[in-house]
């Protein structure tokens, strides 16, 4: 049996997470972070073949809904998954 809340805020928050994951580039970023671990924008740029500015825009969206977080290490920001529910979603999608 599932334990879930029924408040409108609960569903709104989860809908925002799903909308953020629905873009192919953002889904690729999240999948890579889940499977390969924390990384920076340069590594994502090399993997995704997208301009760094495009990746940065997608990262901003993922951060705004609480899917990823960034931690400064020297001059770099290292991004990682900050939402365990998203990890479960990615595991289900890419089994």
Q: Over the stretch 4-23, which tens digit does the pLDDT of each residue have?
A: 667 888 889 999 999 999 99
Which of 66, 64, 44 has the alpha carbon at shortest distance from 53? 44
Task: Give just the sign of the alpha carbon dihedral 59, 61, 62, 64.
Answer: positive
| 82: CB partners within 8 A, 6+ apart | 66, 67, 68, 69
Per the structure, how many domains does the chain have? 1
According to DSSP, residue 22 is labeled T
Instruction: Identify whether 58 is part of a domain.
Output: yes
Q: How far is CA 23 from the centre of its chain?
A: 11
Instruction: Identify whether 76 is part of a domain.
Output: yes
| 74: CB partners within 8 A, 6+ apart | none
Instruction: Identify whether 27 is part of a domain.
Output: yes
- pLDDT score recorded for residue 1: 46
Q: What is the pLDDT of residues 24-65, one digit of tens each?
A: 999 999 999 999 999 999 888 877 888 889 999 999 999 999
Instruction: Identify whether 63 is part of a domain.
Output: yes
- pLDDT score recorded for residue 42: 87
Provide the domain limits for residue 48: 8-93
Instruction: Identify whether 1 is part of a domain.
Output: no
Whether pLDDT at 87 is above 70: yes
């Amino acid at each position: 049996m599932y334990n879930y809340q029924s408040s409108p805020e609960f569903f709104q928050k989860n809908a925002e997470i799903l909308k953020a994951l629905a873009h192919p580039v953002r889904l690729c970023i999240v999948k890579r972070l889940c499977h390969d671990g924390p990384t920076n924008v340069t590594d994502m740029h090399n993997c995704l073949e997208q301009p760094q500015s495009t990746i940065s825009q997608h990262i901003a969206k993922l951060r705004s809904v609480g899917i990823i977080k960034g931690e400064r290490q020297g001059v770099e920001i290292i991004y990682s998954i900050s939402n365990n529910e998203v990890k479960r979603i990615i595991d289900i999608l890419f089994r």
